[in-house]
Structure 1
Amino acid sequence: MAGMEIIMQSKSIEPYLNSSFECSCGRTHKSLFAHYIFEPGAIKKLPVLITSLGYTKPYLISDTHTHKIAGCQAEEVLKEADIPFTSHVLKSPDRGDLAADEHALGSIAMANDKEADIIVSIGTGTINDLGRYFSYITGRPFLLIATAPSMDGLVSGVAPLICHNMKVTFPAQEPLALICDPEIMAAAPLKMLAAGAADILGKYNCLLDWKLSNIVNDEYYCDTIAGIMRTAVDQTMESTKGLASHDSRAVSILTEALVLSGIAMDFSGNSRPASGAEHHQSHYWEMQFLFDGVPAVLHGTKVGIGTVLMLELYNKLAEMDKPDFARIRENIPYRPAMEDWEKEIHRCYRDGAEGVIALEKKAKKNDPEGLLKRLQVIEERWDEIHSLAKSAPQASEIYRVLEKMEAAKVPADVGISRGYVCDSIRYGKELRDRYTILQLMWDIGELDKAAEKLVEKYCDET
């Protein structure tokens, strides 16, 4: 890009910028993400970046908070460069955070400028998700100005949005460029820094779940993508030591890890490398907060708590003897009938229940015929599954890392009740057609017992 100096913080990202390559997994991996600007005063480069990419009028999207942090500055530099723009500022709620739902998306659509030829989101979580999805459905390129390293979707091509009271992952437009001012990123509240780190630490469980599904269901798995994600996790573990003091180098390392996570999702074509059972917990709890009218909790914060719980399941699996598969098969007729399951889904998912039931009718995750097929594979490959479980980090290790970052560690830290935790472990898996440790434990008839033990260990009596 002529006339611009792009600051790269590490060689770990550079090989993947605007890349396409044939992988040993048999697929071609592609990423449109081309420019990573991480330097003091980075927002000042917005005008030259837009013009050098061939665009003339951006549509800026922010919320009340992110507009103050970086939106005003973005508008000012565009004015100074005589670049016309349209700016829409979503009003942040008095309590909690803005939700990435139909209402917010409708607000963006109603303020849309058809003459704008590039979408620019100013924010990291909700605003990023909304902007890249709006970019996707309107067929325009996308650029992101990040304001905090708080989640792993900075450069991904998917957007988790709330639709009809359900958390649904939609295809979205990955950004052509990411602009980060380290001073802005490091000034973010510690809870946001910790949330970003916790979101990446959740990849320990994601990668286990992905490999587990590869073993049980022969799901596509790529060692190259998994390796990229492991690099992100390793970097995050390094950064956690300095986040509590808002150390600029630690924030830089964390931001880079978040970018790598997004690139891994782009290469995969979906969120599989970055979202497993820990995300099912987070999404379930988020839905309950919405139903109850309770202020939202940062996504990464919930993922961190969910990671501790799901790694505990892997740790328990590692201690298990080989199940009595004959007994498991004999007990299949005594499992809850579909009508009983639907009653529980209505109880747990309330207004979102019909979407969950429709997914099950399509995916048939809990169908006896599919269960029998999986049980045969699980029995035949038990040693491999057991070895995978033994490779999992100890839940206590992640708990200690979260503790050092002054992050939430257990459900009660963010107001999640025992009942919601028990339900999320038993029924959180119904949110996605995605095989994880939760489905495995259900397959072998151990999920209800595991839920009781996890609640007993990690939840208060109330």
Structure 2
Amino acid sequence: MTSDLIQKALETATDTKAIVAGDGVVAETGAVFAAQFPGKKAVLVADENTWAAAGEAVEQSLEGAGVAVEGRYVFPGTPTLYAGYENVTKLREYLETVDAVACSVASGTLNDLTKLASGELGRPYMNVCTAASMDGYAAFGASITRDGFKITRNCPAPTALVADLRVMAAAPPRLTATGYGDLIEKIPGGADWLVADELGIEAVDQYVWGLVQDTLRGALADPKGCAAGDPAAISGLAEGLLMSGLAMQAHQSSRPASGAGHNFSHQWEMEGHGLDWEPPLSHGNKVGVGTVAACALYEKVLALDIDSVDVDAAVAAWPDPAANDARVEALQSIDAIREAALAQSRAKYVQPENIRGRVELIKEHWPRIIERITPQLVTASEAAQMLKDAGGPYHPSMLDIDQEKLKLTYFQAQTIRSRYTMFDTLQELGVFADVVESLFAPGGYWHDHPTAD
């Protein structure tokens, strides 16, 4: 892990002041805590699994540094914890009873619960990472489900992180695979940002772009090593995930780390898909499959004959606001998702008087769009192989998602976030439905790959 990169990224982090990463650094937890929270007591937060992985070592380090440990809150390890707001409430109510800073010994879900519970109390916290399982360690905000709808809720990032590579490499392989799935979506997600930049909708911040993209290919370079728990491969993956979180802090947005591929996961999560599995279907596993879906669509984009797009026809077919609302409502059968999707879709909707200008702009900039996104992308088959080598799901059938549901999710994914992606570009051109249908027709990726290998 290149600590110099992380230390440089910390210079623009809004919340995180210290990250210690390396082999055996769990022993430095107490020194980090004492430096960041002088005179404060600690309260440990874990579940039975993460406590077994590093809890005692963390507690010993804190006590060795003279930090008083006020108590422990250990969630059950089975059933596996999930990011429901009721668990935030339980933890917050416990933390209210102690005058101490939370030190979570945690991977994704438990880190988010501690982050939000501490944030709601106006308190800082720190985390000891137990797996290379997601990019949210160093990110602000927590992805929590409440009233059936999962969104990222505002709260500060951790003040400090300790990432012990020995602990992370020993994590269950399924957790490493979910981190790999979370990270690989930055490939098509980066292409989405390039499209938005080229059209003048959301400019690329070159510094933030570099935090994610400059380390991305290296972090993803050894999926088989990640699956095997190879320390060097885990180190690269962990660095990529931490840099992604720091980029989100610097940008105060998840744009550097999340594109349309993530929306597949968000849709399925909001529907509760896989929530009752044991263990629950992870965010990163769903994101990985969403990445394959996005890359498959981008292959069609690269082959699109832009000259065949009729501006007059696109303008004539563009729905007015009421018709667009009806389109969104028809796609979302769950009340909570429908209302949120309506709000998100309205935020990026192009008014009828402006659609001609948008379509003409897209056509004018299309050659430059293709030039910019081509070196950014991988094919769907390449993404699927990388995920397979990492030991994660790489086909929707592995998530109990059939082709009918997958096709529907393409259209749903376009509605649930106001963030502009290639899905919106195709929708504005009037060809989104045709491109999606072509993926399931002879010669399309999903027609040719109806099941996992």
Q: CA deviation at 1:93?
A: 4.8
Q: CA deviation at 1:151?
A: 0.6
Q: Distance in 2 between matches of 1:438 and 1:102?
A: 31
Quickly say closer, same or farther: Cα 1:423–1:14, change in 2 above 3 A.
same
Q: Tell me the TM-score normalized by structure 2.
A: 0.89
Q: Could you tell me which residue of structure 1 aligns to residue 239 of structure 2?
A: 256
SS of equivalent to 2:116? helix
Q: CA deviation at 1:232?
A: 2.6
Q: CA deviation at 1:240?
A: 2.2
Alignment of 1:399-410 (within 5 A): 399-410=384-395
Q: Which amino acid aligns with 1:73?
A: A
Kindly indicate whether residue 414 of structure 2 is the aligned counterpart of residue 429 of structure 1.
Answer: yes
Q: Distance in 2 between matches of 1:12 and 1:100?
A: 30
Between 258-267 and 380-389, report the one with greater CA deviation.
380-389
SS of equivalent to 1:160? strand
Equivalent residue in structure 1 for 2:176, among 193, 202, 209? 193
Q: Could you tell me which residue of structure 1 aligns to residue 220 of structure 2?
A: 237
Equivalent residue in structure 1 for 2:359, among 375, 381, 391? 375
Per-residue CA distance 1:211-245 (angstroms, 9 max, x = gap):
21122243132112112211231221333242132
Q: CA deviation at 1:394?
A: 2.0
Q: Which amino acid aligns with 2:8?
A: P
Kindly indicate whether residue 397 of structure 2 is the aligned counterpart of residue 412 of structure 1.
Answer: yes
Q: Distance in 2 between matches of 1:69 and 1:47?
A: 17
Kindly indicate whether residue 5 of structure 2 is the aligned counterpart of residue 12 of structure 1.
Answer: yes
Quickly say closer, same or farther: Cα 1:333–1:70, change in 2 above 3 A.
closer
Quickly say closer, same or farther: Cα 1:273–1:332, change in 2 above 3 A.
same
Q: Could you tell me which residue of structure 2 aligns to residue 140 of structure 1?
A: 123
Kindly indicate whether residue 150 of structure 2 is the aligned counterpart of residue 164 of structure 1.
Answer: no
Structure 2: 5+ residue stretches without partners = none
Q: CA deviation at 1:106?
A: 0.8
* Cα pair 2:46 2:73 within 8 Å, conserved: yes
Equivalent residue in structure 2 for 1:204, among 187, 190, 194? 187
Q: Report the identity percentage.
A: 27
Q: Could you tell me which residue of structure 2 aligns to residue 327 of structure 1?
A: 313
Q: Could you tell me which residue of structure 1 aligns to residue 54 of structure 2?
A: 70
Quickly say closer, same or farther: Cα 1:174–1:370, change in 2 above 3 A.
farther
Q: Distance in 2 between matches of 1:460 and 1:374?
A: 36
* Cα pair 2:149 2:337 within 8 Å, conserved: yes
Q: Could you tell me which residue of structure 2 aligns to residue 341 of structure 1?
A: 327
Q: Distance in 2 between matches of 1:35 and 1:424?
A: 39
Per-residue CA distance 1:75-115 (angstroms, 9 max, x = gap):
34445546132321223453xx4222211111111211354
Q: Distance in 2 between matches of 1:395 and 1:388?
A: 18
Q: Which amino acid aligns with 1:368?
A: P
Equivalent residue in structure 1 for 2:75, among 90, 99, 102? 90
Q: CA deviation at 1:164?
A: 2.4
* Cα pair 1:136 1:172 within 8 Å, conserved: yes
Matched residues, number: 441
Per-residue CA distance 1:108-164 (angstroms, 9 max, x = gap):
112113543422222121111122222322222221111100111121122222232
Q: Could you tell me which residue of structure 2 aligns to residue 387 of structure 1?
A: 371
Quickly say closer, same or farther: Cα 1:372–1:55, change in 2 above 3 A.
farther
Q: CA deviation at 1:265?
A: 1.0
* Cα pair 2:348 2:420 within 8 Å, conserved: no
SS of equivalent to 1:12? helix
Q: CA deviation at 1:288?
A: 2.6
Per-residue CA distance 1:252-271 (angstroms, 9 max, x = gap):
11111111111111111110
Q: Which amino acid aligns with 1:320?
A: L
Q: Distance in 2 between matches of 1:15 and 1:111?
A: 36
Per-residue CA distance 1:359-383 (angstroms, 9 max, x = gap):
334x152653454443232123222
* Cα pair 2:40 2:67 within 8 Å, conserved: no
RMSD: 2.6
Q: Could you tell me which residue of structure 2 aligns to residue 397 of structure 1?
A: 382
* Cα pair 1:64 1:89 within 8 Å, conserved: yes
Q: Distance in 2 between matches of 1:334 and 1:271?
A: 30
SS of equivalent to 1:38? strand
Per-residue CA distance 1:198-222 (angstroms, 9 max, x = gap):
2211111111111211222431321
Quickly say closer, same or farther: Cα 1:68–1:79, change in 2 above 3 A.
same
Alignment of 1:345-364 (within 5 A): 345-347=331-333, 349-361=334-346, 363=347
Q: CA deviation at 1:172?
A: 2.2
* Cα pair 1:142 1:176 within 8 Å, conserved: yes
* Cα pair 2:192 2:420 within 8 Å, conserved: yes
Structure 1: 5+ residue stretches without partners = 1-7, 21-29
Quickly say closer, same or farther: Cα 1:336–1:318, change in 2 above 3 A.
farther
Quickly say closer, same or farther: Cα 1:39–1:369, change in 2 above 3 A.
same
Per-residue CA distance 1:393-416 (angstroms, 9 max, x = gap):
222222221222232111111222
* Cα pair 2:44 2:69 within 8 Å, conserved: no
Quickly say closer, same or farther: Cα 1:202–1:333, change in 2 above 3 A.
closer
Q: Distance in 2 between matches of 1:140 and 1:128?
A: 14
Q: Distance in 2 between matches of 1:370 and 1:281?
A: 29
Q: Distance in 2 between matches of 1:373 and 1:64?
A: 57
